[in-house]
Amino acid sequence: MIEELAGLERQALAAVREAKDGGALERVRVRYLGRREGLVSGLLRKLGTIDPADRPAAGAAANRTRKTLEKALDERSRELAALAEADPAHVDLTLPARRKWRGTIHPVSRVVDDIWAIFRSLGFTRARGPEVDTEWYNFVALNTPLDHPAADEQDTLYLAPGLLLRSHTSPVQIRTMERYPPPIRIVAPGMVYRRDTYDATHTPAFAQIEGLVVDEGVTFVDLKATLAEFGRRFWGPGTEVRFRPSFFPFTEPSAEVDVKRVIVRDDGSRETTDWIEVMGAGMVDPAVLENVGYDSERYTGWAFGMGPARAAMLRHGVSDLRLFYENDMRFLRQFA
């Protein structure tokens, strides 16, 4: 009995020391000294069942234990009260964090950045050119005679006869090659303009990004390899990339690049999309190289063009292109 009491006392004192607040302390008191369920009280009730000769000693021991525990509880309670008083700047960490406005980068810029990051790792630099350009740079130098139906594919906004808003970023190809000798390895992001009215998939001004590689020994195999590598990196693991014949006046052979993406949903399920057309590409037409004074027998090249806004639509599940240019704060702030 006395040994049992000693054991209980040790346990109880430890529990008192560990109690971190008034509530916990009260629970310790009830557990050991509670009138009905308390462990010490329970032992006291068993006094009648032991040898009468041992009863006085056991009773005294039990009282001592109770007194010791009461004293410890009292002390700990004062201690806790003192602690609370000693921390006048008690911090309530459940209050919301202090917030500042968070700025966001436009989703289309972000796509351009991501495209650039991939091409940068493949040895590309960035080039730029004017948004107002001449028919020579926008069409003729790019092997697109104005009397050919191919010139209709892009309905162009004019400022004056011969002077236009570039309908694609491809004039940067010409301007760059005029200024620098091969090897050329550039991407050219920028705004381009078409005579389109606003609808869910058209705006009169939109972003485009162009790529150009010219050097000795550059082939269609390089084009495929580089753009397939880009496609898989940009569109994510599991992406399939497909090349289809197409026509652009400034490339030959020309290709349309399609991707089939794997979309991983929030619940972990996967879905493979249909083929989606994401860029145009091709081997630079020798006529284009000759137009900038490059020897087309010695140098070959490839080029691509894609629309970052369309990529941003696919990436973020945006079904109306106009949202990107309305600049509603509630829309833009979703891209934090």
Partner 1 sequence: MKVSYRWLRDLAPGFELTPGQAIARLALRGSPVEDVEDLAEGLRDVVIGQVLEARPHPNADRLTLCRVAGPEGEVPVVCGAPVVHEGAFYPFAPVGAVLPGGFRIGKRKIRGEVSQGMLCSESELGLGEDHAGIMLLEGEYEAGASFARAAGLADHRFDVEVTPNRGDLLSHVGIARELHPEGQAAIELPAFPLGADGSGGGSGVDPGFARGGSESTSAGVGIAIEDPALCPRYLGAVIRGVAVGDSPRWLTDRLRAAGARPVNNVVDATNYVMLELGQPLHAFDLARLDDATIVVGRANPGEALVTLDGEERSVTPEMLMIRDAHRPVAIAGVMGGRDSEVSEATRDILLECALFEPKQVRATRRALGMSTDASYRFERGVDPTTMETAVRRAAALIVATAGGRLDGEIIDACPVPWKQPRVTLRPGRVKHLLGVGFTSGEIVRLLLPLGYEVVEQAGDAGDALEFLVPGHRSYDTLREVDLIEEVARAYGYDTFPEALAPFRPGTVPDHPLFQLEDRLRALLAADGISEAQTPALGPAGSGDVALLNPMSAEESALRRDRLTGVLGHVERNMARGVRDVRLFELGTAFAPAPEGPPAESARVAAVLTGRRAPVQWSDAGDGFDVYDIARVLELIATEVSHEWRVVPCGGAGENGPELPRRVGGLFVPGRWYAVRGPGGEIVGWGGEIAPAAMDLPRWAGAVVGAEVVLPDRPAPKAAATASELPGHPASQRDVAFLLPVGAAAGDVLRSARAGGGQLLEAVELFDLYEGGDLPPGSRSLAVRLRFRARGRTLTDREVDKAFRRVLTRVKEETGVEPRS
81 or 163: CB nearest partner 1: 163
79 or 153: CB nearest partner 1: 153
17 or 120: CB nearest partner 1: 120
Least distance CB 124 / partner 1 (angstroms): 7
Least distance CB 246 / partner 1 (angstroms): 5
Q: Cα-atom radius of gyration of the chain, to the nearest Å?
A: 39
Whole-number Å distance between alpha carbons of 271 and 235: 14
Classify residue 328 by its DSSP letter: -
Least distance CB 186 / partner 1 (angstroms): 5
Least distance CB 249 / partner 1 (angstroms): 8
Least distance CB 142 / partner 1 (angstroms): 14
Please report the DSSP string for 193-243 in residue order.
E-S---BTTB-SEEEEEEEEEEEET--HHHHHHHHHHHHHHHH-TT-EEEE
* Other residues' Cβ atoms within 10 Å of the Cβ of residue 261: 22
32 or 324: CB nearest partner 1: 324
Least distance CB 317 / partner 1 (angstroms): 19
Residues 6+ apart with CB under 8 A from 193: 131, 156, 157, 165, 166, 167, 204, 205
Distance from the Cα of residue 168 to its chain's centroid: 29
Three-state SS at 16: helix
Least distance CB 24 / partner 1 (angstroms): 29
Cα-Cα end-to-end distance for the chain = 68
Whole-number Å distance between alpha carbons of 199 and 320: 8
Least distance CB 195 / partner 1 (angstroms): 6
Residues 6+ apart with CB under 8 A from 304: 210, 211, 223, 227, 257, 279, 280, 281, 282
8 or 309: CB nearest partner 1: 309
Q: Are 251 and 245 in contact (CB under 8 A)?
A: no
CA 232 → CA 204, 238, 290, distances in Å?
30, 7, 33
213 or 292: CB nearest partner 1: 213
126 or 315: CB nearest partner 1: 126
31 or 242: CB nearest partner 1: 242
